Chain A
Protein backbone atom coordinates (compact mmCIF):
# COMPACT_ATOMS: atom_id res chain seq x y z
CA UNK A 1 0.00 0.00 0.00
CA UNK A 2 2.94 2.35 0.62
CA UNK A 3 3.55 2.94 -3.05
CA UNK A 4 -0.05 4.14 -3.32
CA UNK A 5 0.46 7.20 -1.09
CA UNK A 6 -0.51 10.26 -3.08
CA UNK A 7 2.48 12.29 -4.16
CA UNK A 8 1.30 15.51 -2.59
CA UNK A 9 1.12 13.83 0.79
CA UNK A 10 4.81 13.09 0.67
CA UNK A 11 6.88 15.34 2.81
CA UNK A 12 9.79 16.46 0.70
CA UNK A 13 12.34 16.98 3.40
CA UNK A 14 12.38 14.55 6.28
CA UNK A 15 14.44 16.99 8.31
CA UNK A 16 13.57 18.27 11.76
CA UNK A 17 13.17 22.02 12.00
CA UNK A 18 12.03 22.29 15.58
CA UNK A 19 12.67 19.70 18.20
CA UNK A 20 10.85 19.93 21.54
CA UNK A 21 11.78 17.65 24.43
CA UNK A 22 10.00 17.43 27.78
CA UNK A 23 8.28 20.80 27.42
CA UNK A 24 6.12 21.78 30.38
CA UNK A 25 4.41 25.12 30.87
CA UNK A 26 2.99 26.55 34.09
CA UNK A 27 0.84 29.63 34.34
CA UNK A 28 1.34 30.27 38.06
CA UNK A 29 -0.13 27.17 39.70
CA UNK A 30 -1.81 26.01 36.53
CA UNK A 31 0.06 23.19 34.79
CA UNK A 32 -0.93 24.03 31.21
CA UNK A 33 1.37 21.73 29.26
CA UNK A 34 2.66 18.39 30.51
CA UNK A 35 5.74 16.88 29.01
CA UNK A 36 5.40 17.51 25.29
CA UNK A 37 7.89 15.81 22.98
CA UNK A 38 7.57 16.55 19.30
CA UNK A 39 9.73 16.98 16.23
CA UNK A 40 8.37 19.44 13.69
CA UNK A 41 9.55 18.82 10.15
CA UNK A 42 10.97 21.37 7.76
CA UNK A 43 8.92 22.26 4.65
CA UNK A 44 5.86 20.68 6.14
CA UNK A 45 2.54 21.96 7.42
CA UNK A 46 1.94 20.69 10.94
CA UNK A 47 -1.51 21.18 12.44
CA UNK A 48 -2.23 21.32 16.17
CA UNK A 49 -5.77 20.31 17.02
CA UNK A 50 -7.60 19.81 20.28
CA UNK A 51 -10.42 21.25 22.38
CA UNK A 52 -10.14 24.72 23.95
CA UNK A 53 -7.68 24.83 26.80
CA UNK A 54 -5.82 21.72 25.65
CA UNK A 55 -2.50 23.56 25.42
CA UNK A 56 -2.10 23.76 21.65
CA UNK A 57 -1.86 27.56 21.52
CA UNK A 58 0.35 27.59 24.60
CA UNK A 59 2.73 25.23 22.88
CA UNK A 60 2.63 27.27 19.66
CA UNK A 61 3.53 30.39 21.63
CA UNK A 62 6.49 28.58 23.20
CA UNK A 63 7.99 28.15 19.75
CA UNK A 64 8.77 31.84 19.33
CA UNK A 65 8.87 32.74 23.01
CA UNK A 66 5.63 34.69 22.97
CA UNK A 67 4.99 33.29 26.45
CA UNK A 68 7.92 35.36 27.75
CA UNK A 69 5.61 38.35 27.85
CA UNK A 70 3.11 36.62 30.17
CA UNK A 71 3.71 37.24 33.86
CA UNK A 72 3.87 34.07 35.98
CA UNK A 73 4.52 31.82 32.99
CA UNK A 74 7.25 29.25 33.53
CA UNK A 75 8.59 26.95 30.85
CA UNK A 76 10.55 23.76 31.50
CA UNK A 77 12.19 21.59 28.89
CA UNK A 78 14.13 22.02 25.73
CA UNK A 79 13.06 23.58 22.43
CA UNK A 80 15.58 23.63 19.64
CA UNK A 81 15.38 25.38 16.30
CA UNK A 82 17.89 23.77 13.92
CA UNK A 83 19.60 22.31 16.98
CA UNK A 84 19.96 25.67 18.80
CA UNK A 85 18.24 26.07 22.16
CA UNK A 86 15.87 29.01 21.71
CA UNK A 87 15.60 29.60 25.45
CA UNK A 88 19.34 30.10 25.90
CA UNK A 89 20.26 33.40 27.55
CA UNK A 90 22.18 34.56 24.49
CA UNK A 91 19.16 34.32 22.20
CA UNK A 92 17.45 37.63 21.47
CA UNK A 93 13.69 36.98 21.36
CA UNK A 94 13.23 39.76 18.80
CA UNK A 95 15.70 38.10 16.43
CA UNK A 96 14.09 34.76 17.14
CA UNK A 97 10.66 36.10 16.17
CA UNK A 98 12.08 37.35 12.87
CA UNK A 99 13.04 33.73 12.16
CA UNK A 100 9.84 32.31 13.60
CA UNK A 101 7.04 34.51 12.28
CA UNK A 102 3.51 34.51 13.57
CA UNK A 103 0.05 35.16 12.15
CA UNK A 104 -2.87 35.63 14.51
CA UNK A 105 -6.54 34.79 14.63
CA UNK A 106 -7.82 38.22 13.71
CA UNK A 107 -6.08 40.13 10.94
CA UNK A 108 -4.15 42.85 12.74
CA UNK A 109 -2.56 45.16 10.15
CA UNK A 110 -0.90 48.29 11.45
CA UNK A 111 -2.96 51.44 10.77
CA UNK A 112 -0.52 52.33 8.03
CA UNK A 113 -0.29 51.83 4.29
CA UNK A 114 -0.12 48.39 2.72
CA UNK A 115 3.50 49.05 1.77
CA UNK A 116 4.51 50.16 5.27
CA UNK A 117 2.91 47.12 6.85
CA UNK A 118 5.16 44.82 4.87
CA UNK A 119 8.22 47.09 5.01
CA UNK A 120 8.06 47.51 8.78
CA UNK A 121 9.82 44.28 9.75
CA UNK A 122 12.64 44.48 7.22
CA UNK A 123 13.22 48.13 8.28
CA UNK A 124 13.54 47.50 12.00
CA UNK A 125 15.70 44.45 11.42
CA UNK A 126 17.84 46.38 8.93
CA UNK A 127 17.33 43.83 6.19
CA UNK A 128 17.57 46.28 3.29
CA UNK A 129 20.22 48.78 2.34
CA UNK A 130 18.30 50.83 -0.20
CA UNK A 131 14.80 51.87 -1.16
CA UNK A 132 15.00 49.66 -4.24
CA UNK A 133 15.91 46.65 -2.13
CA UNK A 134 13.05 47.36 0.26
CA UNK A 135 10.64 47.70 -2.68
CA UNK A 136 11.77 44.30 -3.84
CA UNK A 137 11.23 42.69 -0.44
CA UNK A 138 7.74 44.20 -0.29
CA UNK A 139 6.85 42.95 -3.76
CA UNK A 140 8.23 39.45 -3.20
CA UNK A 141 6.46 39.13 0.14
CA UNK A 142 3.16 40.30 -1.32
CA UNK A 143 3.56 37.93 -4.26
CA UNK A 144 4.28 34.99 -1.96
CA UNK A 145 1.23 35.93 0.07
CA UNK A 146 -0.81 35.87 -3.18
CA UNK A 147 -1.85 39.48 -2.64
CA UNK A 148 0.35 41.39 -5.08
CA UNK A 149 -2.03 41.45 -8.03
CA UNK A 150 -4.84 42.77 -5.87
CA UNK A 151 -2.89 45.60 -4.24
CA UNK A 152 -0.05 46.56 -6.58
CA UNK A 153 -1.88 49.70 -7.75
CA UNK A 154 -2.67 50.93 -4.28
CA UNK A 155 0.38 50.10 -2.20
CA UNK A 156 0.17 53.38 -0.36
CA UNK A 157 -3.49 53.14 0.49
CA UNK A 158 -4.40 52.30 4.08
CA UNK A 159 -4.24 48.61 4.99
CA UNK A 160 -7.43 48.81 7.01
CA UNK A 161 -9.37 49.43 3.81
CA UNK A 162 -8.68 45.87 2.63
CA UNK A 163 -11.18 43.07 3.05
CA UNK A 164 -10.73 40.64 5.95
CA UNK A 165 -9.20 37.97 3.76
CA UNK A 166 -6.85 40.48 2.13
CA UNK A 167 -5.86 41.82 5.54
CA UNK A 168 -5.00 38.31 6.72
CA UNK A 169 -2.89 37.68 3.62
CA UNK A 170 -1.24 41.06 4.27
CA UNK A 171 -0.37 39.86 7.78
CA UNK A 172 1.13 36.73 6.22
CA UNK A 173 3.12 38.93 3.81
CA UNK A 174 4.29 40.98 6.79
CA UNK A 175 5.35 37.81 8.60
CA UNK A 176 7.33 36.47 5.64
CA UNK A 177 8.99 39.83 4.85
CA UNK A 178 11.62 39.28 7.53
CA UNK A 179 12.71 36.05 5.84
CA UNK A 180 11.51 33.62 8.50
CA UNK A 181 12.15 29.88 8.50
CA UNK A 182 9.09 28.93 10.47
CA UNK A 183 5.58 30.40 10.30
CA UNK A 184 3.27 29.97 13.25
CA UNK A 185 -0.41 30.51 12.60
CA UNK A 186 -2.93 30.68 15.40
CA UNK A 187 -6.42 30.15 13.95
CA UNK A 188 -5.57 32.17 10.83
CA UNK A 189 -8.93 31.62 9.14
CA UNK A 190 -11.44 31.74 11.95
CA UNK A 191 -12.40 35.34 11.15
CA UNK A 192 -12.59 34.77 7.39
CA UNK A 193 -15.36 33.76 5.00
CA UNK A 194 -15.09 30.41 3.14
CA UNK A 195 -13.58 31.94 0.00
CA UNK A 196 -10.93 33.90 1.88
CA UNK A 197 -10.32 30.75 3.94
CA UNK A 198 -9.76 28.71 0.78
CA UNK A 199 -7.33 31.37 -0.49
CA UNK A 200 -5.37 31.35 2.75
CA UNK A 201 -5.33 27.52 2.76
CA UNK A 202 -4.04 27.53 -0.80
CA UNK A 203 -1.40 30.02 0.30
CA UNK A 204 -0.38 27.82 3.24
CA UNK A 205 0.12 24.94 0.83
CA UNK A 206 2.34 27.11 -1.38
CA UNK A 207 4.31 28.44 1.59
CA UNK A 208 5.20 24.89 2.55
CA UNK A 209 7.82 24.74 -0.21
CA UNK A 210 9.86 27.39 1.66
CA UNK A 211 8.88 27.30 5.30
CA UNK A 212 7.97 25.01 8.09
CA UNK A 213 4.37 26.00 8.86
CA UNK A 214 2.67 25.26 12.15
CA UNK A 215 -1.04 25.97 12.33
CA UNK A 216 -3.40 25.85 15.27
CA UNK A 217 -6.97 25.33 14.18
CA UNK A 218 -10.32 24.45 15.66
CA UNK A 219 -11.53 23.28 12.30
CA UNK A 220 -10.57 19.65 12.00
CA UNK A 221 -11.48 19.72 8.34
CA UNK A 222 -9.03 22.55 7.86
CA UNK A 223 -6.31 20.58 9.64
CA UNK A 224 -7.12 17.63 7.41
CA UNK A 225 -7.03 19.80 4.28
CA UNK A 226 -3.83 21.76 4.80
CA UNK A 227 -1.49 19.69 6.92
CA UNK A 228 0.80 16.73 6.36
CA UNK A 229 1.35 16.13 10.06
CA UNK A 230 -1.23 16.49 12.82
CA UNK A 231 -0.73 16.69 16.56
CA UNK A 232 -3.69 16.18 18.87
CA UNK A 233 -3.52 17.87 22.28
CA UNK A 234 -5.83 17.05 25.15
CA UNK A 235 -5.72 18.45 28.68
CA UNK A 236 -2.15 19.60 28.39
CA UNK A 237 -0.87 16.37 26.87
CA UNK A 238 0.27 15.68 23.37
CA UNK A 239 -1.89 12.60 22.83
CA UNK A 240 -0.99 11.65 19.31
CA UNK A 241 1.25 12.98 16.57
CA UNK A 242 1.47 11.52 13.09
CA UNK A 243 0.72 11.63 9.41
CA UNK A 244 -2.50 13.58 8.88
CA UNK A 245 -4.23 10.96 6.72
CA UNK A 246 -3.50 8.35 9.33
CA UNK A 247 -4.77 10.50 12.22
CA UNK A 248 -8.05 11.14 10.40
CA UNK A 249 -8.70 7.61 9.17
CA UNK A 250 -7.29 5.34 11.83
CA UNK A 251 -5.97 7.12 14.91
CA UNK A 252 -4.18 4.96 17.47
CA UNK A 253 -5.43 6.64 20.63
CA UNK A 254 -9.13 6.38 21.60
CA UNK A 255 -9.07 10.03 22.76
CA UNK A 256 -8.01 11.16 19.30
CA UNK A 257 -10.75 9.04 17.78
CA UNK A 258 -13.35 10.53 20.13
CA UNK A 259 -12.26 14.07 19.34
CA UNK A 260 -12.08 13.82 15.56
CA UNK A 261 -15.39 11.97 15.33
CA UNK A 262 -17.10 14.63 17.43
CA UNK A 263 -17.60 12.69 20.63
CA UNK A 264 -15.85 14.84 23.23
CA UNK A 265 -15.72 18.61 23.37
Chain B
Protein backbone atom coordinates (compact mmCIF):
# COMPACT_ATOMS: atom_id res chain seq x y z
CA UNK B 1 0.00 0.00 0.00
CA UNK B 2 1.00 3.53 -0.61
CA UNK B 3 1.03 6.07 2.15
CA UNK B 4 2.71 8.88 0.26
CA UNK B 5 0.49 11.88 -0.30
CA UNK B 6 -0.77 12.71 -3.78
CA UNK B 7 0.71 15.62 -5.65
CA UNK B 8 -2.83 16.99 -5.79
CA UNK B 9 -3.61 17.32 -2.09
CA UNK B 10 -7.33 17.84 -2.83
CA UNK B 11 -7.40 14.21 -3.98
CA UNK B 12 -6.12 13.10 -0.56
CA UNK B 13 -8.76 15.23 1.12
CA UNK B 14 -11.50 13.65 -1.02
CA UNK B 15 -10.27 10.14 -0.22
CA UNK B 16 -10.09 10.91 3.48
CA UNK B 17 -13.52 12.54 3.54
CA UNK B 18 -15.20 9.59 1.88
CA UNK B 19 -13.51 7.12 4.23
CA UNK B 20 -14.49 9.24 7.21
CA UNK B 21 -18.10 8.81 6.07
CA UNK B 22 -17.60 5.02 6.12
CA UNK B 23 -16.29 5.21 9.68
CA UNK B 24 -19.27 7.33 10.69
CA UNK B 25 -21.71 4.96 9.03
CA UNK B 26 -20.10 1.93 10.70
CA UNK B 27 -20.25 3.72 14.05
CA UNK B 28 -23.98 4.29 13.63
CA UNK B 29 -24.56 0.65 12.70
CA UNK B 30 -22.58 -0.57 15.72
CA UNK B 31 -24.48 1.72 18.07
CA UNK B 32 -27.87 0.75 16.72
CA UNK B 33 -26.97 -2.96 16.94
CA UNK B 34 -26.01 -2.62 20.61
CA UNK B 35 -29.02 -0.43 21.36
CA UNK B 36 -31.42 -2.78 19.62
CA UNK B 37 -30.05 -5.74 21.58
CA UNK B 38 -30.31 -3.74 24.78
CA UNK B 39 -33.88 -2.71 23.99
CA UNK B 40 -34.68 -6.38 23.41
CA UNK B 41 -33.31 -7.49 26.75
CA UNK B 42 -34.69 -4.58 28.78
CA UNK B 43 -38.00 -4.45 26.86
CA UNK B 44 -37.34 -0.78 26.22
CA UNK B 45 -39.75 0.22 23.44
CA UNK B 46 -38.56 3.81 23.36
CA UNK B 47 -34.96 2.74 22.70
CA UNK B 48 -36.17 0.36 20.00
CA UNK B 49 -38.02 3.22 18.32
CA UNK B 50 -34.84 5.34 18.38
CA UNK B 51 -33.04 2.55 16.53
CA UNK B 52 -35.83 2.28 13.95
CA UNK B 53 -35.75 5.99 13.26
CA UNK B 54 -31.94 6.06 13.16
CA UNK B 55 -31.87 3.78 10.12
CA UNK B 56 -32.80 6.72 7.89
CA UNK B 57 -29.49 8.42 8.70
CA UNK B 58 -27.60 5.26 7.73
CA UNK B 59 -29.48 5.04 4.43
CA UNK B 60 -28.75 8.69 3.65
CA UNK B 61 -25.07 8.18 4.36
CA UNK B 62 -24.91 5.32 1.87
CA UNK B 63 -26.43 7.54 -0.79
CA UNK B 64 -23.98 10.29 -0.01
CA UNK B 65 -21.00 7.91 -0.12
CA UNK B 66 -22.10 6.54 -3.49
CA UNK B 67 -22.50 10.04 -4.89
CA UNK B 68 -19.08 11.10 -3.66
CA UNK B 69 -17.45 7.91 -4.93
CA UNK B 70 -19.00 8.34 -8.39
CA UNK B 71 -17.84 11.93 -8.40
CA UNK B 72 -14.32 10.93 -7.46
CA UNK B 73 -14.18 8.29 -10.19
CA UNK B 74 -15.40 10.82 -12.76
CA UNK B 75 -13.18 13.70 -11.71
CA UNK B 76 -9.99 12.07 -10.50
CA UNK B 77 -9.84 8.90 -12.60
CA UNK B 78 -8.29 6.95 -9.73
CA UNK B 79 -5.95 4.07 -10.58
CA UNK B 80 -4.55 1.07 -8.75
CA UNK B 81 -4.99 1.33 -4.95
CA UNK B 82 -6.94 4.59 -5.28
CA UNK B 83 -9.37 2.85 -7.62
CA UNK B 84 -9.68 -0.05 -5.20
CA UNK B 85 -10.41 2.43 -2.43
CA UNK B 86 -13.17 4.05 -4.50
CA UNK B 87 -14.67 0.64 -5.29
CA UNK B 88 -14.34 -0.59 -1.72
CA UNK B 89 -16.18 2.38 -0.20
CA UNK B 90 -19.15 1.66 -2.48
CA UNK B 91 -19.20 -2.00 -1.48
CA UNK B 92 -18.67 -1.38 2.22
CA UNK B 93 -21.37 1.30 2.24
CA UNK B 94 -23.80 -1.18 0.66
CA UNK B 95 -22.91 -3.77 3.31
CA UNK B 96 -23.37 -1.29 6.13
CA UNK B 97 -26.70 -0.17 4.74
CA UNK B 98 -27.86 -3.80 4.83
CA UNK B 99 -26.58 -4.10 8.41
CA UNK B 100 -28.62 -1.02 9.30
CA UNK B 101 -31.71 -2.76 7.92
CA UNK B 102 -31.02 -5.80 10.09
CA UNK B 103 -30.76 -3.71 13.26
CA UNK B 104 -33.96 -1.87 12.32
CA UNK B 105 -35.68 -5.23 11.91
CA UNK B 106 -34.27 -6.34 15.27
CA UNK B 107 -35.77 -3.26 16.92
CA UNK B 108 -39.12 -3.92 15.24
CA UNK B 109 -39.23 -7.51 16.48
CA UNK B 110 -38.08 -6.42 19.93
CA UNK B 111 -41.24 -4.29 20.23
CA UNK B 112 -43.35 -7.28 19.24
CA UNK B 113 -41.53 -9.46 21.76
CA UNK B 114 -42.09 -6.86 24.48
CA UNK B 115 -45.77 -7.79 24.26
CA UNK B 116 -45.08 -11.51 24.71
CA UNK B 117 -43.94 -13.37 27.79
CA UNK B 118 -40.14 -13.80 28.01
CA UNK B 119 -38.52 -17.06 26.99
CA UNK B 120 -35.80 -18.13 29.42
CA UNK B 121 -32.57 -16.17 29.17
CA UNK B 122 -32.66 -15.97 25.39
CA UNK B 123 -32.48 -12.21 25.14
CA UNK B 124 -29.27 -12.20 27.18
CA UNK B 125 -27.73 -14.68 24.73
CA UNK B 126 -28.88 -12.48 21.84
CA UNK B 127 -27.21 -9.52 23.44
CA UNK B 128 -23.99 -11.56 23.75
CA UNK B 129 -23.92 -12.47 20.06
CA UNK B 130 -24.79 -8.87 19.17
CA UNK B 131 -21.80 -7.67 21.19
CA UNK B 132 -19.54 -10.22 19.47
CA UNK B 133 -20.75 -9.10 16.02
CA UNK B 134 -20.32 -5.44 16.93
CA UNK B 135 -16.68 -6.22 17.80
CA UNK B 136 -16.28 -7.99 14.46
CA UNK B 137 -17.63 -4.96 12.63
CA UNK B 138 -15.41 -2.61 14.61
CA UNK B 139 -12.43 -4.86 13.86
CA UNK B 140 -13.18 -4.90 10.14
CA UNK B 141 -13.50 -1.11 9.98
CA UNK B 142 -10.36 -0.68 12.06
CA UNK B 143 -8.48 -2.97 9.68
CA UNK B 144 -9.89 -0.90 6.81
CA UNK B 145 -8.70 2.41 8.15
CA UNK B 146 -5.30 1.05 9.18
CA UNK B 147 -5.00 -1.00 5.99
CA UNK B 148 -4.02 -3.88 8.28
CA UNK B 149 -3.94 -7.19 6.44
CA UNK B 150 -3.40 -9.41 9.51
CA UNK B 151 -6.24 -7.76 11.37
CA UNK B 152 -8.58 -8.31 8.40
CA UNK B 153 -7.60 -12.00 8.23
CA UNK B 154 -8.25 -12.33 11.95
CA UNK B 155 -11.75 -10.85 11.62
CA UNK B 156 -12.45 -13.21 8.76
CA UNK B 157 -11.32 -16.22 10.76
CA UNK B 158 -13.32 -15.22 13.83
CA UNK B 159 -16.61 -15.47 11.93
CA UNK B 160 -16.80 -19.17 12.79
CA UNK B 161 -17.21 -18.20 16.46
CA UNK B 162 -20.29 -16.18 15.52
CA UNK B 163 -21.62 -19.14 13.56
CA UNK B 164 -21.16 -21.34 16.62
CA UNK B 165 -22.98 -18.86 18.85
CA UNK B 166 -25.83 -18.78 16.35
CA UNK B 167 -25.99 -22.58 16.23
CA UNK B 168 -26.17 -22.71 20.02
CA UNK B 169 -29.04 -20.20 19.96
CA UNK B 170 -30.80 -22.23 17.29
CA UNK B 171 -30.73 -25.30 19.54
CA UNK B 172 -31.83 -23.25 22.52
CA UNK B 173 -34.91 -21.93 20.68
CA UNK B 174 -35.73 -25.38 19.42
CA UNK B 175 -35.65 -26.71 22.97
CA UNK B 176 -37.95 -23.92 24.21
CA UNK B 177 -40.44 -24.55 21.40
CA UNK B 178 -40.51 -28.28 22.08
CA UNK B 179 -40.95 -27.69 25.78
CA UNK B 180 -43.93 -25.41 25.36
CA UNK B 181 -45.71 -24.62 22.07
CA UNK B 182 -46.80 -21.27 23.55
CA UNK B 183 -43.16 -20.20 23.09
CA UNK B 184 -43.30 -20.70 19.35
CA UNK B 185 -44.26 -17.15 18.35
CA UNK B 186 -41.61 -15.56 20.53
CA UNK B 187 -38.99 -18.11 19.53
CA UNK B 188 -39.65 -17.59 15.82
CA UNK B 189 -39.02 -13.87 16.27
CA UNK B 190 -35.96 -14.57 18.38
CA UNK B 191 -34.65 -16.96 15.77
CA UNK B 192 -35.01 -14.36 13.00
CA UNK B 193 -33.19 -11.90 15.20
CA UNK B 194 -30.35 -14.35 15.81
CA UNK B 195 -30.16 -15.21 12.13
CA UNK B 196 -30.04 -11.55 11.15
CA UNK B 197 -27.27 -10.85 13.65
CA UNK B 198 -25.37 -13.82 12.26
CA UNK B 199 -25.80 -12.31 8.77
CA UNK B 200 -24.58 -8.99 10.08
CA UNK B 201 -21.47 -10.89 11.10
CA UNK B 202 -21.15 -12.16 7.52
CA UNK B 203 -21.20 -8.56 6.33
CA UNK B 204 -18.37 -7.77 8.74
CA UNK B 205 -16.46 -10.68 7.17
CA UNK B 206 -17.27 -9.27 3.73
CA UNK B 207 -15.81 -5.92 4.76
CA UNK B 208 -12.68 -7.69 6.03
CA UNK B 209 -12.42 -9.36 2.63
CA UNK B 210 -12.70 -5.95 0.96
CA UNK B 211 -9.77 -4.84 3.10
CA UNK B 212 -7.75 -7.80 1.85
CA UNK B 213 -8.70 -6.88 -1.72
CA UNK B 214 -7.78 -3.28 -1.10
CA UNK B 215 -4.33 -4.20 0.19
CA UNK B 216 -3.40 -7.04 -2.15
CA UNK B 217 -5.53 -6.46 -5.23
CA UNK B 218 -7.02 -9.96 -4.86
CA UNK B 219 -9.88 -11.34 -2.85
CA UNK B 220 -8.75 -14.07 -0.45
CA UNK B 221 -8.67 -17.37 -2.29
CA UNK B 222 -8.87 -20.04 0.37
CA UNK B 223 -12.30 -20.49 1.86
CA UNK B 224 -12.69 -19.26 5.37
CA UNK B 225 -13.22 -21.63 8.28
CA UNK B 226 -16.90 -22.34 8.83
CA UNK B 227 -18.73 -23.92 11.70
CA UNK B 228 -20.93 -26.83 10.73
CA UNK B 229 -24.73 -26.49 10.77
CA UNK B 230 -26.42 -27.88 13.85
CA UNK B 231 -27.32 -31.49 13.21
CA UNK B 232 -31.02 -30.81 13.70
CA UNK B 233 -30.91 -28.14 10.99
CA UNK B 234 -29.59 -30.37 8.23
CA UNK B 235 -32.06 -32.12 6.02
CA UNK B 236 -32.54 -35.80 6.49
Binding site for B on A (CB under 8 A): 220-221, 224, 248-251, 254, 256-258, 260-265
Contact = CB atoms under 8 A, between A and B. Distances in A.
B2 A262 contact: no
A261 B217 contact: no
B105 interface: no
Nearest to A1: B218
Given A262-B8, A262-B11, A263-B7, A248 B79 contact: yes
Given A249-B79, A249-B80, A250-B80, A263 B2 contact: yes
Contacts of B5: 263
Query: Which of A249, A251, A254 has the most B CB atoms < 10 Å from its CB?
Result: A249
Closest 6 CB pairs of A and B: A250-B217, A260-B79, A263-B4, A261-B82, A248-B79, A262-B6
B4 A258 contact: yes
A264 B4 contact: yes
Given A261-B80, A263-B4, 7 more contacts: A248-B80, A249-B79, A250-B80, A250-B217, A257-B2, A261-B81, A262-B8
B217 A263 contact: no
Contacts of A248: 79-80, 83
A257 to B, nearest CB: 5
Interface string B50-93: 00000000000000000000000000011111111000000000
A265 B5 CA distance: 12
Interface string B160-189: 000000000000000000000000000000
Contacts of B84: 249
Contacts, number: 43
A257 B80 CA distance: 7
Contacts of A250: 80, 217-218
Contacts of B217: 249-250
Contacts of B81: 257, 261
Contacts of B83: 248-249
Contacts of A261: 2, 6, 78-82
A246 to B, nearest CB: 9
A262 B80 contact: no
Contacts of A262: 6-8, 11
Contacts of B77: 221
Contacts of A254: 2
Nearest to B87: A249
A264 B217 CA distance: 21
Nearest to B218: A250
Query: Which of B7, B80, B82, B83 has the most A CB atoms < 10 Å from its CB?
Result: B80
Contacts of B11: 262
12 contacts: A220-B79, A224-B79, A248-B80, A256-B80, A257-B2, A258-B4, A260-B79, A261-B2, A261-B6, A261-B80, A262-B8, A263-B6
